[in-house]
Structure 1
Amino acid sequence: MEKILIVEDDLQIQTLIRDYVNASGYIAVTASDGEEALQKFESEKPNLALLDIIVPKIDGFEVCRKIRNESNIPIIMLSSKKEDTDKILALGLGADDYIEKPFSPRVLVAKIQSQFRRVNELSGTPVSDTLKIRDLEIDIKARTVTVKGIDIPFSVKEFEILNFLMANKNQALSREKIFDEIWGYNEYGDINTVTVHVRKIREKIENNPSEPEYIETVWGIGYKFKG
């Protein structure tokens, strides 16, 4: 049974989310501040994290960064702020989704289920377990990325985008097509999310991200993985 870490300092909201998560068949693990969140992450080994951005001691952005440095579990950020800068920062740090308060608990549970579906799909048996192009190799079953034999940590969405681009090498793919393939219908979707994630991927796999060898920008369209 999947375990979900809920990081929320408002105890009323925390209890509401916890009850919906438990009722949906998951195991809820709660934390009221960033330090407790990181302790629970280490001790409980959750399968997904729900992180409020504004929490005491260590904010949600830093918690997200620290978790992503150690794990590729899905991360959904929660915030009452409506600025795009917070959303872009959260996604840039490796979050897989972002939901604004107030939100419907049912919508939140649907997003959790969507993240687990995508993880399970990636864990299924593909036609080929690995894709290798020059010094870059991904193992689809193990969900690992290596560059010159060195393991590189990837978030769920970063891995899905790289997998999609490599599987469709030498094809120009629009940002809209990438977004639809990776996120599907997303009430809070922003097409710039694709740009943010591609930038992060380039920083991880390219020798010089400003002169990419793998992911080429196709101006006016989107991106192409050079095979």
Structure 2
Amino acid sequence: MASSIELVENTQALETNQNNQSQKKLLLIENDQYLSKSFAIHAANFGHQTTKIRTGEVLSQELKCYLIDHRPNMIVLDVGFADSIQLLIIRDIRALYDGLLVVVSSKNSEQEHIDAFTLGADDYLLKPINSRVLMIRIEALFRRQNSKINQVELASLTVGDVCLQPKSQKCFINGEVVKLTTFEFNLLKALLEHQGKILSRDQLYSSLLRRVYNGVERTLDVRMSQLREKLTQAGMQKNQIETVWGQGYMFNNISS
């Protein structure tokens, strides 16, 4: 089934003083009107922009481009149309998107619940769900995310002999400053934040280069090589950036 994109409601309340930073972009993925109707009920007070996309078993090119170009703050996915195999759409979304993902389902299945979280869901809600409760759950997720982001931005990220200070955009190895470009810093930060986990090229292209990886381009590989060289020349010995062939890259602490 081809995807179809439509703006459901620009729901910024007229009598609030919310600024553009506080207004979130939500993407609803559904094949009926269940989510759209729930959000429409609370449109006046919800205060966020909501867009709907219809999709089939796999992500269309249109949907992939939307995820990268528009960078929604949250995806709410109704898997009422899906069976357990089609739940793999969550994995496909996660290859391009690292934001909040809420799954809504009409299937009261413990296994589906487990599979959804394993594939990358942040929350799992069973239909029918009270529309007001849905809004409250969404705002609670945003609050927890904002708290986590604030803590990360204030804190230093230290793994082995590498230390990053996100707020000042500085990198240290064994206490000495290493000069990195903005892209190199953000690339290293992403690797450190996911230490011991593989980051796919799809994820890195989406989050850092804001485009879909075409399977051929070598831009990321070249920049990764340059980053490795800078870190090695600066004396990094307790960590390594590992290439996992066919999958992506992983930052490992090898001193322990």
TM-score range, shorter chain: 0.5 to 0.7
2:190 is the counterpart of 1:144: yes
* Change in CA separation of 1:6 and 1:127 when aligned onto 2, cut-off 3 Å: closer
| Residues 87-166 of structure 1: pairs in structure 2 closer than 5 A | 87-125=113-151, 129-134=155-160, 144-146=190-192, 152=199
Counterpart CA distance in 2 for 1:139 and 1:64 is: 32
2:37 is the counterpart of 1:16: yes
Counterpart CA distance in 2 for 1:71 and 1:120 is: 17
Q: Once superposed, what is the RMSD of the aligned Cα atoms?
A: 3.9
Partner of 1:29: 51
Aligned to 1:144, the other structure's residue is in SS state: helix
Q: Mind listing any 5+ residue stretches in structure 1 that lack a counterpart?
A: 156-203, 208-212, 215-226
The Cα of 1:117 is off from its aligned counterpart by: 0.6
Q: Mind listing any 5+ residue stretches in structure 2 that lack a counterpart?
A: 1-22, 168-185, 204-248
Aligned residues: percent identity?
26
Counterpart CA distance in 2 for 1:126 and 1:93 is: 24
The Cα of 1:152 is off from its aligned counterpart by: 3.6
- Residues 2 and 47 of structure 1 are in contact (CA less than 8 Å); yes or no, is this contact kept in structure 2? yes
Counterpart CA distance in 2 for 1:79 and 1:138 is: 40
TM value normalised by structure 2: 0.50
Greater gyration radius? 2
The Cα of 1:28 is off from its aligned counterpart by: 0.6
Partner of 1:86: 112
Partner of 1:49: 75
